[in-house]
Structure 1
């Protein structure tokens, strides 16, 4: 039996952490693999199944200064190297930058494991434009080239990484537990007014997600469709600015900020339309989750993920609202096109088979691909 450790920073509230929780849970019950989860930080949000073995390499809580986190990586790597050797771990599959660096460092220090790194972020999204971005690319180039296996979660990301690193990169999309989403979607929603219809946006409230575009796009159609409200799930540095924007646009009472929630699926199931305006993504989990819950989708054609999910046969960036495949895409930052997309969805001008598309990414299908990589390298 092959022993695998899934390594990431923490079980915090991000999409990559949720993937690690799913991987650890799925393969803890596999007859060919013994799996465990290894973390740096104890700021756990996701709670893997109680049968999943979790080990910590440090006692960080996630609020430490970034410089301290960076300087601590060699020590954590040495602890991982010792952990691997003591527990006869065959493969360490890491997710997110710091975990990927630690994985390779531990191997360079004498770790006996096979290193597999999974990249969830588009490090080519303008990083060359800033000093710190260029330093990050240097770290990526130095460490990633030394990995035994590199995995990207979207096609755009795979192509960009192969161009930067000059070596083959595998693609494995993220896995989704469709049955779990459907079950959690049935839970009662008590925080929203009854008798309303909902458009929903889910994600961190940070500049990269362009929450102001979502609100401004909604404002374009709010008066014409007075029975539709906007629900925003998530938290972050932009929340106060976005709340102020709703007041400026006269949308108080029509935009509902619910913060970060443990079960987003019940809100997605209660909503008719999902909207995303990001200027960059890796492979947006929430887009698949919204489709699984039956939402019609309107998303920015950012790098990377949305077009691959919504319209996989389209091989160019859109310059206007473009509907087809499984939803609507609009150019990043085009608030008018976003509003047009919302109106088109409200009018039901095209009903897309969103649940069927979400099924292409169901956990059983994707986990088979992960198992192949873990077993065969």
Structure 2
């Protein structure tokens, strides 16, 4: 290898869906590839429904999802994964590995290899770890043991770093804050692609609110649907579009909720899309009603495209994304340069709700949606503030920072 491309990098992720971590991995892959580095991308699970692909550089361990495996098969999969990672690192003479999320971090930390080992945390873990799943228990153990073998653990916001140290018992001094990078030029270019499907053209011909992400308990889309039911009473000629797939129980619940609220002609589940940016551009508002987040990529993507946002205060990191100023959490809606942040919707339990009764915070969310939908000043303010808001997400700077040793 010459001096310019003396790095060989392994990107490690659980899946190849269209989530934020996977899009981040793809951004890194394309950037490092262009620099001439040897680059490989490992998915633990490769599925036929994958949206994110890495061509000839893609590696995988299984084409069966974990839930399709028996308990014994899943246990063997977990036990063998660190050894398989170790083998790949030696085979491709990897100098740097980057793991995305706790499953990848944990197995990478146990591979006991000598490359510069980077992990990353993309969500507020104290909330996520309230669910006592097997892997969440293992993750908590890792925070006190094997994570010390990571040369650097990237936190994508100040809030996530503080949460790990204060609320999750994280023991080690290898935490560094690096915001997620975004290829703004590519996002804007892709957002200009036209929607060609006749049904979709008709849907987006009306004022449209867009949800983009996994249909999961974390994202709690039921809050958005209930808030939308309030908005449409005042403004009946609007639509709500949900793009993404996910947990079948969550999907079934929100379909039932849509039917109960008589919204079948105004709420549309469009599934996964390989180019979500054109749908952001076609929408009037991007909405995020999550129980918890880190620094959600979709917020930055919406700012890049110029579509204003309504988001719950799902993490302190949301203010880092949506404003250049500091705003304290409050029980009232907060106007920012890119939209409106509403009070936190999380009520302390991560589960599909047992009641469909409206809560105050959903009414606040509905007020924010109505305001941003009907007041053009939010779109104009975003246009004015866009460059300043996006400055910390430069792909060139962030991708290089990942590979550097820890700052003192």
Question: What does residue range 190-269 of structure 1 map to in structure 2 within 5 Å?
Answer: 190=197, 191-192=199-200, 193=202, 195-236=205-246, 237=248, 238-269=250-281
Q: Cα RMSD over matched residues?
A: 2.5
TM-score by length of 2: 0.82
Partner secondary structure for residue 145 of structure 1 = helix
Q: Which structure 2 segments of 5+ residues have no match?
A: 1-5, 346-360
Q: Where does residue 367 of structure 1 map in the other structure? A: 396
Of 280, 290, 298 in structure 1, the residue corresponding to residue 302 of structure 2 is 290
Given that 2:324 and 2:388 are in contact with CA atoms closer than 8 Å, whether structure 1 keeps it comes out as no
Cα deviations across residues 141-182 of structure 1 (Å, max 9, x unaligned)? Answer: 322123111111122112222333242411111122222222
TM-score with structure 1 setting the length? 0.89
State the partner residue of 1:309.
321
Aligned length in residues: 369
Report the secondary structure of 2:292's partner residue.
coil
Shift of 1:330: 0.8
Give deviations 1:288-319, integer Å, cap 9, x for gaps.
Answer: 22222221111000125322211353353221
Q: Aligned partners of 2:258, 2:400: CA distance in 1, in Å? A: 46
SS at match of 2:395: helix
Give the whole-Å Cα distance in 1 for the aligned partners of 2:389 and 2:339.
12
Structure 1, unpaired ranges of 5+? none
Give 1:76 shift: 2.1
Distance 2:245 2:372 in 1: 26
d(CA) in 2 for partners of 1:231, 1:320? 26
| Deviation by residue 1:247-288 (Cα, 9 ceiling, x = unmatched) | 322323111221222221121111111111101012211122
Closer, same or farther: CA 343–94 of 1 in aligned 2, 3 Å: same
CA distance in 2 between partners of 1:293 and 1:188 (Å): 14
How far is the alpha carbon of 1:130 from its aligned partner? 4.0
Q: Once the two structures are superposed, what CA deviation does each residue of 1:12-68 show, in whole Å capped at 9, x if it has no partner?
A: 33211121122111101215x432222322226234464x62233x23432444854
Instruction: Measure how far apart 1:372 and its partner are.
Output: 3.3
**Superposed displacement of residue 341, structure 1:** 0.3
Partner of 2:29: 24
Would the alpha carbon gap of residues 49 and 41 (structure 1) be closer, same or farther in structure 2, given more than 3 Å must change?
closer
SS at match of 1:35: strand
User: Residue 2 of structure 1 contacts residue 90 of structure 1 at CA under 8 Å; is this kept in 2?
Assistant: yes
- Select the residue among 174, 179, 184 that pairs with 1:173: 179
1:94-153 per-residue CA deviation (whole Å, 9 max, x = no partner) reads: 11222212211111xxx2222111122322116257475455312333221231111111
1:140 match = 143
Match of 1:346 in 2: 373
Cα 1:165–1:346 shift into 2, 3 Å: same
Q: Contact 1:11/1:17 (CA < 8 Å) preserved in 2?
A: yes
Distance 2:23 2:121 in 1: 14
Contact 1:162 1:168 in 2 (8 A): no
Distance in 1 between residues matched to 2:53 and 2:370, nearest whole Å: 39
d(CA) in 1 for partners of 2:85 and 2:206? Answer: 52
More relative contact order, 1 or 2 (CA 8 Å, 6+ apart): 2
